[in-house]
Amino acid sequence: MYSFLIRKFTGIDTLLCILLTRSAYTRNVEYPMKITDVAKVVSGQNPHHVDARKIYESPHAMAVVITLQPGEALKKHITPVDVFFYVLEGSGVVEIGDEKQTVGKDMLVESPAKIPHRWSNESTSVFRILVVKVPKPNEETKLL
């Protein structure tokens, strides 16, 4: 059994520091900062058929915001790299390996590479999570 870690944050500041620290060291100072209006990013096609918006991509990492409506779920899958999830809104159920737990806003969930996992929204409200894959995967996610 693989244990996954859940952390509670009081805000997104710490998460943004994690994301930006590596990028700040590798970005050339000639380029200005980039700001993305996540609400305007178009959801991309995905095998889960849910709202998934790729909001950040570099040679080092990738970030996607997934929105699950009540009753929606991701299919169980395996990612080739470590992933961490930050709950932006609502509550949902995360399954990693043989473990299953309900998590809510401002919680961080760590998922190791190559372990089956999935998310589901069993609530009556919208559920949104930030998914960060580090390093950026060279292989595709595999559905089970």
Mean pLDDT across the stretch 26-53? 85
Answer yes or no: are the C-beta atoms of 132 and 88 closer than 8 Å. Answer: no
Indicate the pTM of the whole model. 0.79
Answer yes or no: are the C-beta atoms of 7 and 108 closer than 8 Å. Answer: yes
The two structure tokens encoding residue 111 = 């998922």
Mean pLDDT across the stretch 16-21? 49
**pLDDT tier at 31, thresholds 50, 70, 90:** low
Mean pLDDT across the stretch 60-76? 96
Q: Is the pLDDT of residue 4 over 70?
A: no
Please give the residue that has the higher pLDDT: either 2 or 95: 95
**pLDDT tier at 80, thresholds 50, 70, 90:** very high
Strand 77-78 and strand 142-143: the pairing is antiparallel
Give the ranges where the chain is alpha helix by DSSP (H). Answer: 13-26
Q: Is the pLDDT of residue 22 over 50?
A: no
pLDDT for the residue numbered 133:
95
At 77, which helix (H) or strand (E)? Answer: strand 77-78
Assigned CATH topology for domain 5-143: Jelly Rolls (2.60.120)
pLDDT for the residue numbered 139:
87
